[in-house]
Amino acid sequence: MDAVLAVARPAPTLLTVIVLFPTDSHDIIDAEVTCKASQMEVSISKCKLFQLGFEREGVRVNDRQCTGIEGEDFISFQINNTKGNCGNIVQSNGTHIMYKNTIWIESANNTGNIITRDRTINVEFSCAYELDIKISLDSVVKPMLSVINLTVPTQEGSFTTKMALYKNASYKHPYRQGEVVLTTRDVLYVGVFVVGADATHLILTLNKCYATPSRDSNDKLRYFIIEEGCQNIKDNTIGIEENGVSLTCRFHVTVFKFIGDYDEVHLHCAVSLCDSEKYSCKINCPQNSRIATEYTKEPKEQIISVGPIRRKRLDWCEDNGGCEQICTSRVEGPLCSCVTGTLQEDGKSCRGAEMDLVLSAADRYVFTPYVYPATWPEDNFFRQTLSLLIVTNLGAYILYFVFATLSYYFIFDHSLMKHPQFLKNQVYREIMFTVQALPWISIPTVALFLLELRGYSKLYDDVGGFPSGWFHLIVSVLSFLFFTDMLIYWIHRGLHHRLVYKHIHKPHHIWKIPTPFASHAFHPVDGFLQSLPYHIYPFIFPLHKVVYLGLYILVNIWTISIHDGDFRVPQILRPFINGSAHHTDHHMFFDYNYGQYFTLWDRIGGSFKNPSSFEGKGPLSYVKKMMEEKCSSHAGSACQDGKSLLGEFTKTE
């Protein structure tokens, strides 16, 4: 194979190319390369081709699909200046762009009928052009570009129209896709041009150009850069280099950002082609007004769009990056995080409460569709406060009545109601005391729920948010139980101090032999103080919000259970669990067994007392003995009634 190089200039030029063969150095091919504005044309002499023993069919360029034009004396190829067309290779040095291709001349040189040798000549040719607004688009990979087809009523067919973004006023260096990340001090250069139209009488006009924060050209939020062909006179950063004078329009504008939570800008231009043979297409823009011209807008105006243009900040957190709490500025943008609460799906807001789950459900199914006006947003502070008061009271009453009733009828030993210290109408009084106390207890409770709801706690909803994942979740349950048991012990013991007992805690000790309905029959201050540890925990330690909701329900059920008179505890757990037997002794003997779940702190604090029921001296044992004495001192029928009574009510002893 023999390589020959043909070099052309942007003008018709006859090139003499010397072809070197191993056997003959005097073969010469005449080639002519013409570099036109958007096309390369190369021709070779048919006469010389045949003299060297080549046939017409053996001539081609890089792409075999591109066929030549055979004239009387020459074989020609006309190749458009676009990357890849007919196998074009494009190279750029920053100031010029070069389109390169090769003519291949091939034939089989047979020597008799025994052997053959292939002969191939390749003639390389190229055209170099100075970069401009159009040609420069071929110099980059995937330029930021938009393309539409424009039509003119006075002519048939359509014309390709392109819109691209450039780095400087030379319009020779276009941006690539994804590369347009600028600061609000940078200037953006925009070029729009038509390819293949008749430049002698067709004019491209930008009727209006505007920016939106989205790709939608119909977005109602928009900022006008050009209106009626003229720049926005209120913005002195806008400049129009060319509009309505040729098939190319150019303008520039300093980069800006839409106020609000918007990260992108998209440009849209309404463009049309004007036939200068029928209209006066020139646009006149004085400093303050536009002079009316004879040009009537063509009905074939179309929108061409390009974007996104992203804002590059020196500090993404200058306005806190849209984050609700903590913003960290990174190269690619702001990173939001939460000191309290959990980062939500929007990546900016922080929420963190189990009441978030309950309140969201209440809003979706009840409050929003049926209770509150549509104009009252769900995240309004006063609406959330009112909603939490409703949900908290309703939830408290449901928990209390459902589980206390179940415990009263299925677990509580009714024979305890025969005890001398069981008060007249005690169950009714316990219920009425609770019903009156719960709304007052809910007021400070709602204040804490509101803090949790608005993200000031360490509640989270993503188990994977911690390196230890599920292990941390399990440990947090145990930690919650031991932490709250410790605080409740000291709070409860403090409430027995003589300075506060008779004012706050004594009402709960009216019930010496409590029933499950006494579980929440507290003075409001007493009830809130003993529930306070449950709320303190998630402000100090991370806790999954679903686990918190479950634990909150569990501790209310446990509070009912330690007032249910069921003294049965597995033998192995008796030294550790503070159950109903322990708490009943607390009600009877005043200063023992202050703990909530465990006996640990009573043992440490010296207030532990082994339950009297475990020693056969508890209230149920007393009732049983009392009934036996009554049975022995009365007639057989009464004794039979007593035995029946004992048989029915002593199952928990």
Residue 10: the pLDDT is 43
The answer to whether residue 643 scores a pLDDT higher than 70 is no
- Give the residue among 31, 484, 563 at the shortest CA–CA distance from 476: 484
pLDDT for 176: 83
Q: Is 269 helix (H, G, I), strand (E, B) or coil?
A: strand
- Check: CB of residue 229 under 8 Å from CB of residue 280: no
Percent of the chain past pLDDT 90, that is, above it, reads 28
**pLDDT value at residue 137:** 66
How high is the pLDDT of residue 9? 41
Tally of CA atoms within 13 A in the half-sphere of 236 that contains its CB: 1
Confidence (pLDDT) at 479: 94
For the stretch 42-68, pLDDT in tens is 888 888 778 777 777 788 888 888 888
Pick from 310, 306, 97: nearest CA to 192: 306
Per-residue model confidence (pLDDT) at position 507: 92
Instruction: Identify the pLDDT of residue 490.
Output: 96
Structure tokens at 58: 């053996």
- Cα dihedral 628, 630, 631, 637, rounded to 10, equals -150
Q: Is 31 exposed, middle or buried (CB count within 10 Å of its CB: 0-12, 13-18, 19+)?
A: buried
Instruction: Give the range with max mean pLDDT: 151-165, 344-358, 492-506.
Output: 492-506
Q: For residues 415-435, give the mean pLDDT.
A: 93
Are 436 and 524 contacting, i.e. CB atoms less than 8 angstroms apart?
A: no
**Res 115: pLDDT:** 46
pLDDT at 8: 44
Give the tens place of pLDDT for each residue, 85-110.
888 887 777 677 788 888 888 875 54
Of 66, 20, 16, whose CA–CA distance to 45 is shortest?
16
How do residues 590-617 score in pLDDT, each as one tens digit?
889 999 999 999 999 999 999 988 888 8
pTM (2 decimals)? Answer: 0.48
pLDDT, one tens digit per residue, over 613-638 is: 888 888 888 888 888 887 777 655 54
Q: Which residue has better confidence, 52 or 490?
A: 490
- For 262, residues 6+ apart whose C-beta sits below 8 A from its C-beta are 213
Indicate if the pLDDT at residue 156 is higher than 70: no
Mean pLDDT of 120-137: 75
Q: Say if CB 412 and CB 515 are below 8 A apart.
A: yes
Token pair, residue 13, equals 């030029």
Written as six digits, the tokens of 63 are 């792409």
Dist CA 391 CA 269 (whole Å) = 54
User: Which pLDDT does position 551 carry in this prediction?
Assistant: 93
CA distance 6 to 189: 37
581 vs 196, which has greater pLDDT? 581
210 neighbors 222 (Cβ within 8 angstroms): yes
Instruction: Please write the tens of the pLDDT for every residue from 242-280.
Output: 888 888 898 999 888 888 778 789 999 998 888 877 777
Average pLDDT over residues 339-354: 62
What is the C-alpha separation between 175 and 118, in angstroms, rounded?
A: 46
- Orientation angle between helical segments 354-362 and 545-561, nearest 10 degrees: 90
What does the mean pLDDT of the chain come to? 80
Cα–Cα–Cα angle for 97, 99, 103, rounded to 5 degrees: 160
Identify the burial level of 319 via C-beta atoms within 10 angstroms of its C-beta, where 0-12 means exposed, 13-18 middle and 19 or more buried.
middle
DSSP structure class, residue 157: S
Contact 517, 431 (CB under 8 A): yes
pLDDT at 653 over 80: no
Sign for the CA dihedral angle at 133, 138, 140, 146 comes to positive
Distance CA 393, CA 355 (A): 13
By DSSP bridging, strand 39-45 and strand 74-80 are antiparallel
Token pair in block for residue 556: 């209310």
Domains and CATH numbers, the chain: 2-130 (2.60.40.3210), 139-311 (2.60.40.4100), 322-351 (no CATH), 355-413+426-565 (no CATH)
Question: In this structure, what token pair is assigned to residue 262?
Answer: 């918007």
Is residue 647 scored above 60 in pLDDT?
no
Supply the DSSP string of 515-543, one letter for each residue: -GGGTT---HHHHHHHHHHHHHHHHHS-E
The more confident residue out of 487 and 199 is: 487
Q: How confident is the model at residue 180 (pLDDT cuts 50, 70, 90)?
A: confident
| pLDDT class of 455 with cuts at 50, 70, 90 | confident
